[in-house]
Amino acid sequence: MSRGIFRTTRYSKYEPTLDDLDMADLMNLIKDRLLESGFHRNPWDPDPDYQQTMQDLYDAIAEALINNDLVSDEVVEQAMNAEDWMESQLGEMVRELAQRLEREGFLKPQADQESEQAMGQQGMGSDRDPGQVKFELTNKAIDLLGYRTLREVLGAAGRSSLGAHETKFQTTGVEAIAESKPYEFGDTMNLNLSETLKSASKRGVVDGKLTLEYGDLKVNQSEYYSSAATVVMLDCSHSMILYGEDRFTPAKQVALALAHLIRTQYRGDAIRFVLFHNSAEEIPLAHLAQAQVGPYHTNTAEGLRLAQKLLKRQNKDMKQIVMITDGKPSAITLPNGRIYKNAYGLDPIVLGETLREVGNCRRQGVQINTFMLARDPELIAFVQRVTAMTRGKAYFTTPHTVGRYVLQDFQARRTKMVN
């Protein structure tokens, strides 16, 4: 018998490449840099109008690749020895990843004419100076950053699942999860056919017909879900990036996470965002991620005034203001539109105007929950007074823990409201 010939196949160890890197994971690696508020540029002279450029994006991607050992030491050494690291192999990798982020819908060229001309027809891969080309985060990117922050914060707090909260009240609706009830004017006609016919059959059949009367109508009930309107007030005054730490970036991360939580778990709720500084303005969620700190004072009164206007438009069961700040009020808007400022101590004029707006919130049934990133004794007394006036809550926390406190407080308050 002759020996057969057996073929063998050798398998080598699979070595992953950057082509295998998921862009959602890359966004998570660079999220802190994408949300950066000016702290790493020049905290002593912040530019509130600064917009990140492609060079900022390239630097963030390169830093993420190196810090997470996603490129070899040889590639890093070559980049360090190059006259311009963007012309090295590392630079090529970074450009390709930036283009993939654009193709997969996380980034887009800025919508102004100058940037569009700079981007040309080549998208993120333009040969123009990357320090002059600006970009924006898309809604997809904003949603991802909010989701990742929410998962990290609640995961660290021991929360594994989220859900809407049922109430003790019931209302008619499409989904039947409770017993039926007699129909009343205004109820959704979600008819319980068997109960309706059962009621009519009690009178018997007359001339071979079953007579249906108004009182026989039975409708299914569904759980009633309460709703809330929230305005998140973010302090973007100069102190938010002073004193050796960035306080504004964590505040933005919290706002994005709260927005994601409300949009996915509490769909009947409403959330708006207000930046307050020398004055105050509403900012859309799409622009929140790239908001910057400026050389501003803290006009808390103007922020509260704008927040009340936004809440008046909402017809919700609960209305609240979530204020994230690290400083005492130091500015107000005068009747003639001028800004009065005093950064030294609690100015009685500024304090009086601020407390006047707090009182207006109380009369409108708006709670103010304050998350304070500082522990100055004078400031603590002010926050406690605001809290007592509106029966809200005050948390004296840090940039590292503010997310957990904001999200847990929101969920606890929603649970209390609906139960």
**Residues 238, 295 contacting (CB under 8 angstroms):** yes
Strand partners, 274: 233, 282
Contacts of residue 303, Cβ cutoff 8 Å, sequence gap at least 6: 233, 274, 275, 276, 280, 323
Tell me whether residue 252 is exposed, middle or buried, using C-beta atoms within 10 angstroms of its C-beta: 0 to 12, 13 to 18, 19 or more.
buried
Strand partners, 228: 318
| pLDDT band at residue 170 under the 50/70/90 scheme | very low
Backbone angles phi, psi at 31, to 5 degrees: -60, -35
pLDDT score for 3? 54
What is the H or E stretch that residue 349 is in?
helix 348-363
pLDDT digits (tens, 9 = 90+) for 286-333: 899 999 999 999 999 999 999 999 999 998 888 999 999 998 899 999
pLDDT digits (tens, 9 = 90+) for 65-123: 999 999 999 999 999 999 999 999 999 999 999 999 999 999 988 755 454 454 444 45
What is the H or E stretch that residue 395 is in?
strand 394-396
pLDDT digits (tens, 9 = 90+) for 389-404: 988 888 888 888 888 8
pLDDT score for 221? 66
Provide the percentage of residues in the chain whose pLDDT is more than 90. 49
Higher pLDDT, 332 or 10: 332
pLDDT score for 6? 57
Q: Residue 171 corresponds to which tokens in the numbers above?
A: 């209302």
- pLDDT of 156 over the 90 cut: no
Pairing relationship of beta strands 394-396 and 366-372 according to DSSP bridges: parallel
**Residues 314, 227 contacting (CB under 8 angstroms):** no
- pLDDT of 8 over the 70 cut: no
Q: Measured between alpha carbons, how far is 320 from 408 in angstroms, rounded to an integer?
A: 15
pLDDT score for 177? 41
Q: Measured between alpha carbons, how far is 23 from 402 in angstroms, rounded to an integer?
A: 28
Q: Measured between alpha carbons, how far is 149 from 156 in angstroms, rounded to an integer?
A: 11
- pLDDT of 160 over the 50 cut: no
What is the H or E stretch that residue 331 is in?
strand 331-333
Contacts of residue 148, Cβ cutoff 8 Å, sequence gap at least 6: 27, 28, 31
Comparing C-alpha atoms, which of 346, 166, 151 is closest to residue 264?
A: 151
Contacts of residue 258, Cβ cutoff 8 Å, sequence gap at least 6: 146, 150, 230, 232, 271, 322, 406, 407, 410
- Angle formed by the axes of helices 348-363 and 300-312, to 10°? 20
Q: Residue 248 corresponds to which tokens in the numbers above?
A: 């504004």
Domains in the chain and their CATH numbers?
18-137 (no CATH), 144-164+226-418 (3.40.50.410), 170-223 (no CATH)
Mean pLDDT to the nearest integer, 156-162: 46
pLDDT score for 115? 47
**Residues 342, 330 contacting (CB under 8 angstroms):** yes
| pLDDT band at residue 415 under the 50/70/90 scheme | low
Which residue's structure tokens are 């501003």? 296
